[in-house]
Amino acid sequence: MPERLPRIIGLPYDAASSFRRGAADAPDAIRAALHSPAGNLWSEDLLDLGSSGMLTDAGNVEVTPGEHARRNIEAGIASVLRDGAVPIALGGDHAVTYAVLRAIHAEHGPCTIVHVDAHPDLYDEFEGDRYSHACPFARIMEEQLAARLVQVGIRAMNGHQRAQADRFGVEVFDMRAWESGTRPLVRGPVYLSIDLDGIDPAHAPGVSHREPGGLTVRDVVGLIQRVRGTLVGADVVELNPSRDVDDLTARVAAKLVKELAARMISGERP
């Protein structure tokens, strides 16, 4: 058994959301799907995540809007790391990733971030908020919390965010590149950040910002299973249960959690 096992931690925060709230209800919705009798806790490579404490749960971090929330999120992730576990953070909106990466950086130094999303989330500020869910990767790159930022599934970039990507040296694999067969190559310590709107809304409708033309669930599962290096943490964010259809997106999120956990357990991949 590996020394570092995965641990879920809920981040029920959506105060930084634009357009529509609801992602704060996501952590418990994902847990319900994960433990639903309609499925099981076995991964595709036949790891029984329900046995022997293979996948534990730290509960939800208490969050209130503003700097206090960011401090609590960072402290919650740091606590998981101190226990020798690998965090799988359940958002919440994508703003939580900045605080998570502060804790990851303190433990592991700058790692490679693989970021699945329809949007680059690189705004310098959005509607006057530098900590909006549209901005976390600008803050992450400003503070040099990542050695590389690799974005996959992008299809809603604008001129400002293109300039920000160029400024920070972000490696953008948009949907046209993905469709042509181009894939990122990563190694070393890797953090996976999965915004569910990176997946086409035909497969994952329960998000606040539906953007057609995206990845399939199989694409993202394959990305998780094949990512090289050591997975030092991950998040699954932006589920909005109020927008979901028959819990379909919650079940997608639960599937991704299982495959993330299995990939963490498998350890370093050359």
Three-class SS of 93-120: CCCHHHHHHHHHHHHHCCEEEEEECCCC
pTM above 0.95, yes or no: yes
Q: Give helix 217-226 / helix 248-266 axis angle, nearest 10°.
A: 10
Assess whether pLDDT exceeds 90 at residue 115: yes
Q: What is the pLDDT of residue 4?
A: 86
Tokens read off for 190: 């890797």
Residue 1, pLDDT above cutoff 60: no
> Residue 127's pLDDT is what?
93
Q: What residues form DSSP beta bridges with 11?
A: 91
Q: Is the pLDDT of residue 11 over 80?
A: yes
pLDDT at 95: 97
pLDDT of residue 84: 97
Q: pLDDT for 66-93, tens place per residue? A: 678 999 999 999 999 999 999 999 999 9
Class at the top of the CATH hierarchy for domain 6-266: alpha beta
Residue 198 pLDDT > 90: yes
pLDDT digit string (tens) for 32-62?
A: 999 999 999 999 999 999 998 899 999 999 9
pLDDT tens-digit profile of 202-259? 999 999 999 999 999 999 999 999 999 999 999 999 999 999 999 999 999 999 999 9
In sequence order, what are the residues at sequence separation of 6 or more whose Cβ sits closer than 8 angstroms to the Cβ of residue 5? 53, 54, 55, 56, 85, 86, 264, 265
pLDDT of residue 270: 77
Instruction: Show me where the domains of the chain are located.
Output: 6-266
Name the helix (H) or strand (E) containing 7. strand 6-11
* Residue 158 scores a pLDDT above 70: yes
pLDDT reported for residue 2: 58
259: three-class secondary structure by DSSP:
helix
